[in-house]
Amino acid sequence: MGTNMKQTKLMSLAILLGMATINTVMAQEKKHNGKHGENSANEYMHHSSVDQLVKNFESPERDAYQQPDKVMEYLGDLKGKTVMDIGAGSGYFSVKLADKGANVIAADVDDEFQQYLVQRIANNNLKNIELRKIPYDDPSLKAGEADMVLIVNTYHHIENRPDYFAKVNKGLTSQGELVVIDFFKADGIPVGPPIGHKLSIDQVVSELKKAGFSSFEVVVDLLPYQYIIRAK
């Protein structure tokens, strides 16, 4: 992991992306009307405008650390598969998943992001993205509906995670899988939330075991500041 954390290459990201990644794609959380318990990561989030968040989420600076081409290659052949993107936000990954032939469910709790995606889908003439407004505590998946659920930079914002991801598990097909991409819990990372809000790999795996997942692939050397956990 140490050789991949080349802090000097991407330190300029800290100013531009720090707030965006703290808000994260699931900036959804700002609009659930106080009907959930407190979450320190969510409390820390600043309330940026959707326009500003979109600008940050879709920036070249994000591309530099998110390295979406590597992520898409890692995910493999998605043609014809149903993939839910939880915390879809601006559609950063939803559009890329659709371009690879997946039938995408772009899920978010935020109305403004969903409205933004309506226009983006129309502009890109995409026919294989379904928008789904979801509550903060439920992915709103039918049993066996998805071949894959992808959640990027958002896992640490979910509350009652074992319960939430038990619902995700039920929404997967028998061969379905969950892919979590989130920030290393380590010092010296110029993007993402403060270290106190990040979650270790061990904690995520432990929570997903409680949610009913039993098989895990952990990748720590593909992205500079994030781990990937593939769970079945």
- pLDDT tens string 21-69: 434 334 433 333 334 444 544 444 445 677 777 777 888 999 999 999 9
pLDDT at res. 15: 32
In the block, residue with structure tokens 């600043």: 46
- What topology is assigned to 2-231 in CATH? Rossmann fold (3.40.50)
Please compute the mean of the pLDDT values over residues 126-154 and round it to a whole number.
97
In terms of DSSP H, where are the helices of the chain? Answer: 7-10, 13-23, 40-44, 50-57, 60-66, 68-75, 92-99, 111-123, 161-171, 201-210
- pLDDT tens string 86-135: 999 999 999 999 999 999 999 998 999 999 999 999 998 999 999 999 99
Which residue ranges make up each domain of the chain? 2-231
pLDDT at 5 over 90: no
